[in-house]
Structure 1
Amino acid sequence: MTPPKFESITPSAARLTESLRDIGYDFPAAVADLVDNSVSAGAEHVDVFIEFDGPESYVLIADDGAGMSESALTEALRFGSRRDYEQGELGRYGLGLKTASLSQCRAVTVATRRSVKLPRLYVRTLDLDVVAEADQWLVLKPGREGLPQRALTYLTEGTGTVVIWDKLDRVLPESRPEGGWARRRLDMLAKRTAAHLGMVFHRFLEGTTGGRRLVITMNGEKIAPWNPFAPHEPSRKELPSQRFEITVGNISGAVRMNRYVLPAKEQFSSLEQFELLSGPLKWNRQQGLYIYRADRLVQWGGWNGIRGIDEHTKLARASLDFDTDLDGVFNINVAKVRVTVPVHLRQMLERPINELCSRADEAYRKTARGADLGTPGFRVPRQAIWRGPESPEAAAMKDAGLALRAASMQAGEYAALLRIVAVLEAEAPAVAQGLGLIT
């Protein structure tokens, strides 16, 4: 058989690099993608500087990770780098360093040092103006002379990598980049980015990822973790955890779920903590699922089509954890800011989420009536006593009870259901307990 004929159709470097600038990053997400690389390199400290200097302003992200060899540095600046990612690594497509950086600037310089014994630095620059002029996939080899002094200081102390964004055309205004508005914009971006990093990397900042604690600073100030589940609030309630085994095609893995009912405003230890836990989207929109990929937060709030946002369930939050081997199942995007929960997993999540929301609704309404959240009718044991396998009939009864709760909440008649439950508890407590309407 005659082999087929073919010809190479290399894409236009100038056109493709421009189109890849609009892949879905905002400024905080772009910085977070570079911090992913630092975490994968074993860094313990990551420092972010947003330096205002008019049109010469730049962004610098430095870490004390393992650094790269010269060939690895060149490969890191290739679009779709030719490397495989191990399970648990935060990288995904081999695009993040380039697409994240170029979504905000026209030139990205990477300087790295791999050996403590040898002071040699490797430096490469990917400049879109150079690529556009040559219409070729080129990187520059500028040497250390053009690096900011801050970058040199980092890399003379030990191993690590420094990324510098220049030509901030997507950050600075085209007219008067030296003006007060431009300065205020960079200040605002620094605050937003610090809050974002504190949220998406909160487990790393807390040191709960295998005992390894990460320190991130913004313009010299240490970033505090923002844990959405208020772990230090004594009035927080935790429901029993769940584990789901899922298979899609030839991909299998486990998804872990933890569910929490946060305290109502009056039960928080302080008003400051209540305001802090409202999060960037505020209470209503922060309810829902917090999805973690290898301990890195990629979704913060929302119910992913399982149910709608409701004022009465705003205290309900749940973590959903998966590892990188399930990336294809969750359809995580390049910017790591969008995931899709597969249909069959959504079906498995309905019952535990409805249970969580009914508990949150009950807590909300009891607080509204001035009742004590700590009454026995509300308390949820961290681990229920196991009394043997549940019969199909008992499981069906509990499903019916959850369906009643969910339907009454969606119909706006939950108060009526609570009155019915009170009568059932008095007249037929076994029925109310069998339906799961009392604990």
Structure 2
Amino acid sequence: MPPESWFQVPPSAARLTGSLRDIGYEFPTAVADIVDNSIAAGATHVDISIEFDGADSRVFITDDGSGMTPNALLEALRLGSRRGYADGDLGRYGLGLKTASLSQCRSVTVITRSSPKVFRTSARSLDLDIVEEWDEWVIVDPGADPDVIRARKWLAEGTGTVVLWRSLDRVLPERRPEGGWAKRRIETLATRTAEHLGMVFHRFIEGAAGDRQVVITVNGQKIRAWNPFAPDEAARQELSPQRFEITLGNAGGHVTLRRYILPSRDSFSSPTEFERHSGPLNWNRQQGLYIYRANRLVQWGGWGGIRGIDEHTKLARASVDFGTGLDSAFNINVAKMRVAIPAQLRQMLEAPINELCIYANDAYRKAPHTAAARRPVPAGLGTPPEVRAAANAAATAGLTLRAAAMQAGEWAAWQRITAVLKEQSPDVLKTLGLDT
């Protein structure tokens, strides 16, 4: 039954848009959110141009996707757009274009073309200066603006969309935006953005995410995919994949786990590739889970509360894939940078992740770690071969026992057994390689 009286209390546009600027984006993650829209629109080429021009510096994000009609463009610039999202769409809340853009700039303009046969473009701007002056949710026509004219020319060959950021108040320093420090900051952000996009969209760049390969460039330089699992390395090991069914409230679907042990430094194809695969956080902190939503990487590194980071398991990495139907279960945030692993899934992941770490620990211990360890032992010195063989056999036996306990579902019992051995027979535990 409707209430007898009601009152419409629209939020202050000036206040709310100001608050939405602080949702948590950094420059690379904000650009990535715009690229999400390009990929969802079927783009095969996405070009990011970050141009330094003092206070007039600007960012163009151009794609060759399907573009938008004039009405769809207005809807895209609505905060909380009314469009629906199909299964597999990278969008989620109808906020990304606006919140990502305004987290970095005060003015975002979108120029788009949806007809492949007729050269007709539409352009609209969301400008915080105008919103704050009028305190209204208004979108304006940018008119014959030189930057907009440039963007229209880029769309002359076919459909696509250009997102233009200007008034980069969150990027450039308030004082001396034309100075050398500001220019170096722009250059640094371009490098960081290329690295970030190469990581989160690596499956799309590799052509592993569907029937098309996406080429992404930053300032004219083609981005190279950074695949955390080093698929081109012959010495990489892969354990059997696992598939889990998750149900949480009205959300339900499947989650796929794939587990990898990367090669040690000496087993990599080259020192350069070993360093490249160390990732932005370096080897220790890059170990762990890589969580993908609809083939887009949304979280990387760490074990999601299942276990702690350990030097001995730094070669272990695993992918966790879920579809957009499980968004509520994973509690994905607006910026698509963080998820929470459901408790139900965390319990399922514990045994296979511990099994992975057992094998990774064994691979780490068998690899030489120092220059001294790689030098041959002079004749007559060191451990006799028969003693080394016995030690290796004992360590292998320990590894086999741990894996068997894991596969039999008796990991808790195994932990109790090793706790007793640690207290009563630590030498046996050490001989079996189970002292860590």
TM class, shorter-length: 0.7 to 0.9
Q: SS at the partner of 2:181?
A: helix
Residue 353 of structure 1 deviates from its aligned partner by 0.5
Residue 211 of structure 1 deviates from its aligned partner by 3.0
Residue identity opposite 2:431 in structure 1 = R
Deviations along 1:173-196, whole A, 9 cap, x unmatched? Answer: 111111111110000000000000
- Corresponding residue of 2:429: 417
Is residue 43 of structure 2 the alignment partner of residue 30 of structure 1?
Answer: no
Deviations along 1:318-363, whole A, 9 cap, x unmatched? Answer: 0000000000000000000010001111111100010011111111
| Distance across 2 between alignment mates of 1:171 and 1:90 | 26
**1:264–1:120: structure 2 CA closer, same or farther, 3 Å change rule?**
same
Deviations along 1:75-134, whole A, 9 cap, x unmatched? Answer: 000000011100000000000000000000000000000112211110000000000000
Residue 150 of structure 1 deviates from its aligned partner by 3.9
Contact 2:25 2:100 in 1 (8 A): yes
What TM-score do the two structures reach when normalised by structure 1? Answer: 0.87
Contact 1:23 1:335 in 2 (8 A): yes
Residue identity opposite 2:215 in structure 1 = V
- Corresponding residue of 1:263: 263
Deviations along 1:162-213, whole A, 9 cap, x unmatched? Answer: 0000000000011111111111000000000000000000000000112310
- Corresponding residue of 1:99: 99
Contact 2:351 2:406 in 1 (8 A): no
Contact 2:111 2:148 in 1 (8 A): no
Contact 2:46 2:63 in 1 (8 A): yes
| Distance across 1 between alignment mates of 2:222 and 2:427 | 46
Residue 12 of structure 1 deviates from its aligned partner by 0.1
| Distance across 2 between alignment mates of 1:394 and 1:74 | 55
- Corresponding residue of 1:15: 15
- Corresponding residue of 1:159: 159
Residues 224-263 of structure 1 mapped to structure 2, 5 A cutoff: 224-263=224-263
| Distance across 2 between alignment mates of 1:346 and 1:403 | 21
Contact 1:65 1:159 in 2 (8 A): yes
Unaligned runs of 5+ in 1: 379-390, 423-439
Contact 2:40 2:89 in 1 (8 A): yes
Contact 1:354 1:402 in 2 (8 A): no
Contact 2:355 2:406 in 1 (8 A): no
**1:169–1:395: structure 2 CA closer, same or farther, 3 Å change rule?**
same
| Distance across 1 between alignment mates of 2:431 and 2:301 | 31
Residue identity opposite 1:395 in structure 2 = A
| Distance across 2 between alignment mates of 1:192 and 1:393 | 40
Residue 401 of structure 1 deviates from its aligned partner by 4.4
What TM-score do the two structures reach when normalised by structure 2? Answer: 0.88
**1:209–1:262: structure 2 CA closer, same or farther, 3 Å change rule?**
same
Contact 1:123 1:144 in 2 (8 A): no
Q: SS at the partner of 2:408?
A: helix
Is residue 357 of structure 2 the alignment partner of residue 357 of structure 1?
Answer: yes
| Distance across 2 between alignment mates of 1:149 and 1:8 | 40
Residue 3 of structure 1 deviates from its aligned partner by 3.8
- Corresponding residue of 1:395: 408
| Distance across 2 between alignment mates of 1:394 and 1:209 | 31
Contact 1:351 1:399 in 2 (8 A): no
Contact 1:121 1:144 in 2 (8 A): no
- Corresponding residue of 1:382: none
Q: SS at the partner of 1:247?
A: strand
Contact 1:330 1:339 in 2 (8 A): yes
Unaligned runs of 5+ in 2: 375-387, 397-403
